[in-house]
């Protein structure tokens, strides 16, 4: 009780007394090659408003993640447990936004810099060498109009940055008077800073990832009326030949949650947060199992050795051991 009071006083979420949550639903023996049968979902910390955007930092040997409404990025590792990486972060008040949300998706570039979706400030920012005092804006507009609220992002091996820009960070969403771009886009930013829109016909583009051979772009559409993961052929000409990689309409009838963040495993399997928790989907679209977290899970990330999958599950930070 004393420790809990101390954590509350210093404005840190508390470590849950319930160490485990949920279960693994195994729909195919193939999932046994990724998650051993005895694996459990660990709760590492709890008390968050809405945890999001985890990424593994090799430099810090930690997972970093956002609490979007609280305008903070936390860190967690085995030795130190939970800590505040930086706050406030994501909304500074310098850009028009009535919702005032914090950061969302995070990634690390090839040079070890932290790249942040500044949900409230409607831009993407780089923290040079993880230094909070060295912020550089990478992109904040398209065709002279402010972005909606960058949500998730991924780099390819050539240094191109792909990101989604739904209206979740605006108070009234698509109807917000401050929204300057009529569509909710998927964009590509080249290393020299040029920006182009790749997709503009998705209602709620959210999670984004790239196949291991960098030929396919995956984009999650977090729309209850069209809950799908799309795939596009990637080339120098952009993202072509759209098709549905996975259709979640039947799953949303029985499970909570919509498609959100997703990551591609070295085996090619896609770990996609969605109805029920984190779905594991083969490259051919076969659903082989779900890590059932019991609560809505927003995003996930592997550590550098792919030993664990870290998940931001509503008020929790969770993880499960992988093979």
**Tokens encoding 31:** 């999932």
- d(C-alpha 116, C-alpha 89), whole Å: 9
Q: CA nearest 47: which of 15, 72, 70?
A: 15
Q: Which residue do the tokens 């008077």 mark?
A: 177
The reported pLDDT for the residue numbered 131 is 85
What is the arrangement of strands in the sheet containing 20-21, beginning at the earlier edge strand? 20-21, 41-46, 316-321, 308-313, 299-302
Q: How does pLDDT run along the chain (323 residues), one tens digit per residue?
A: 444 444 444 556 654 455 999 999 999 999 999 999 999 999 999 999 999 999 999 999 999 999 999 999 999 999 999 999 999 999 999 899 999 999 999 999 999 999 999 999 999 999 998 888 899 999 999 999 999 999 999 999 999 999 999 999 999 999 999 999 999 999 999 999 999 999 999 999 999 999 999 999 999 999 999 999 999 999 988 999 999 999 999 999 999 999 999 999 999 999 999 999 999 999 999 999 999 999 999 999 999 999 999 999 999 999 999 99
DSSP 8-state assignment for residue 5: H
What is the arrangement of strands in the sheet containing 205-210, beginning at the earlier edge strand? 205-210, 216-221, 228-235, 238-247
Residue range 49-267, CATH number? 2.120.10.30
Cβ-defined contacts of 190-198 (< 8 Å, 24+): 190/159, 190/160, 191/158, 191/159, 191/160, 193/138, 193/139, 195/139, 195/142, 196/238, 197/142, 198/162, 198/232, 198/238, 198/239
- d(C-alpha 185, C-alpha 179), whole Å: 13
Domain ranges across the chain: 49-267
Tell me if 292 sits within 8 A of 285, measured CB to CB: no
CA 14, distance to chain mean position in Å, is 22
CA 133, distance to chain mean position in Å, is 24
Instruction: Mention every residue, 6+ apart, whose C-beta is less than 8 A from residue 6.
Output: none
Q: How many CA atoms lie within 13 A of 55 on its CB side?
A: 26
User: What's this model's pTM, rounded to 2 decimal places?
Assistant: 0.93
């Amino acid at each position: 009780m004393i420790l809990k009071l101390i954590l509350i006083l210093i404005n840190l979420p508390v470590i849950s007394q319930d160490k485990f949550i949920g279960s693994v639903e195994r729909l195919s023996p193939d999932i046994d090659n990724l998650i051993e049968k005895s694996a459990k979902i660990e709760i590492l910390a709890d008390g968050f408003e809405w945890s999001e955007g985890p990424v593994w930092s090799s430099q810090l040997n930690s997972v970093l993640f956002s609490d979007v409404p609280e305008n903070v990025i936390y860190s967690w590792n085995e030795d130190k447990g939970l800590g505040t990486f930086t706050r406030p972060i994501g909304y500074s008040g310098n850009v028009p936004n009535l919702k005032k949300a914090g950061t969302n998706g995070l990634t690390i570039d090839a040079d070890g810099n932290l790249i942040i979706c500044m949900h409230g400030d409607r831009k993407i920012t780089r923290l040079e060498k993880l230094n909070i005092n060295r912020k550089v804006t990478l992109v904040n507009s398209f065709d002279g109009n402010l972005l909606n609220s960058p949500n998730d992002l991924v780099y390819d091996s050539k240094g191109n940055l792909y990101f989604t820009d739904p209206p979740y960070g605006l108070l009234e969403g698509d109807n917000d008077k401050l929204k300057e771009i009529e569509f909710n886009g998927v964009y590509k930013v080249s290393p020299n800073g040029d920006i182009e829109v790749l997709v503009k016909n998705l209602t709620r583009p959210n999670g984004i990832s790239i196949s291991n051979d960098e030929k396919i772009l995956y984009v999650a559409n977090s729309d209850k009326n069209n809950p799908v993961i799309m795939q596009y052929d990637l080339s120098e000409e952009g993202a072509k030949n759209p098709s549905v990689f996975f259709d979640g309409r039947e799953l949303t009838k029985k499970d909570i949650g919509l498609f959100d963040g997703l990551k591609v495993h070295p085996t090619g399997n896609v770990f996609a947060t969605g109805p029920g928790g984190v779905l594991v989907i083969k490259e051919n679209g076969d659903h082989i199992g779900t890590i059932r977290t019991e609560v809505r899970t927003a995003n996930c990330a592997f550590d550098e050795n792919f030993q664990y999958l870290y998940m931001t599950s509503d008020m929790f930070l969770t993880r499960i051991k992988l093979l």
